[in-house]
Amino acid sequence: MSGSISAAQSSALANADQAAAAAAKASTAASSTSSSSSSTAASSTENALTSLTSNFNDFLNLLMTQLQNQDPTSPMDTTQFTSELVEFASVEQQINTNSSLTTLIQATQGTETLQASSIVGKTVDATSTSLPLQNSSATLQFTTPTAEPVAIAIYDSAGNEVRNITATSNQGSNSFTWNGTNDSGTQMPDGTYSVAVQTATAAGQSTSIPFTVQGTVTGVNSTGTTVNVEMGTTTLPLSSVQQVN
C-alpha cells in the first residue's frame, strides 16, 4: 500500500466506516448469543428429564388409585393407560437420545480442542472483523483487483474510532500492519479492536473489502459446542481460521 487519495474519495470512504463498525458489533453480539444458546440447550435437556420423571410418577399414582378403586364388575379399559405409558416411554427415549447426542458432541469437541492446541504459538490468518493488537502490532490482509484508494478504520471496544488510514492499494494481495498508535500518535494498549476496510468508487461511493486478520495463537478454549482460538484477549472460533503460517 502506498500513495494518497483525494479529499472527495476520503470523504466517501469515511462515510462508510460507521456502517462497517456497526456490522462488526452485530457480529460480536451474534457470537455471544450463539454461545449462550448452547449452554441453554444443555440445561433444557436436564429440565425436561426432571419434568418427565415428576409427571410420570403422578401418572402412576393416579393409575394405581384408579385400579384400587375400580368397580370389579366393570373393570377399566386398559387401552387408554397403556397408550399413555407408551407415550411416556417414547418421550423419555427422545430426551435420552438428545442427551446422548450432546455427550457425543462434547466428546468430539474435546478432540477438536486437543487438536487445535497444536497451533498455539503459531501465527494464523482468520476471517473476522476483530483485530488483535499483540505487542503493539496488528496485521490484516486483503486483495484488490486494481491499485485503488482504500481506507482502513480501527475502533476500540466502545466503538470509538482510534485510527483512520487512507492510502492506495497494490493490485492483488495487500498486507497492512498497525503499530497500535491512534490518530494523535498515542500508543493504544494491546487488546481487541474492530476494523473496517473500504474502497471508493469513481462516483464517490464506498464498498467493503473482504479481509483476514492475523495474530499469534496464545491458547485454545471451548464455549458450548464451539472450539475457539485465543490471540491475546481476542477469541475467535476455530472455524474462522483460514491459514496457519
Q: Give tens-digit pLDDT for 194-232.
A: 999 988 665 667 788 999 999 999 998 888 778 899 999
Query: In this prediction, what percent of the chain has a pLDDT beyond 70?
Result: 58
222: nearest Cα among 209, 239, 243:
239
In tens, the pLDDT along 101-123 reads 666 555 565 567 667 788 889 99
- Global confidence as pTM: 0.61
Q: Are residues 137 and 234 in the same domain?
A: yes
Cβ 151 vs Cβ 13: under 8 Å: yes
Residue 198 structural domain? 7-25+120-244
Q: What are the grid coordinates assigned to 24, written together?
A: 462488526
Residue 41 lies in a domain: yes
Whether residues 70 and 54 share a domain: the answer is yes
Domain count, the chain: 2
pLDDT of 1 reads 65
Residue 208 and residue 154: Cα distance in Å, rounded? 14
Q: Which letter does DSSP use for residue 181 in this model?
A: B
Q: Are residues 213 and 155 in the same domain?
A: yes
Write the CB contacts of 170 (distance below 8 Å, at least 6 apart in sequence): 1, 2, 144, 147
Note the pLDDT of residue 116.
75
- pLDDT band at 154, cuts 50/70/90? very high
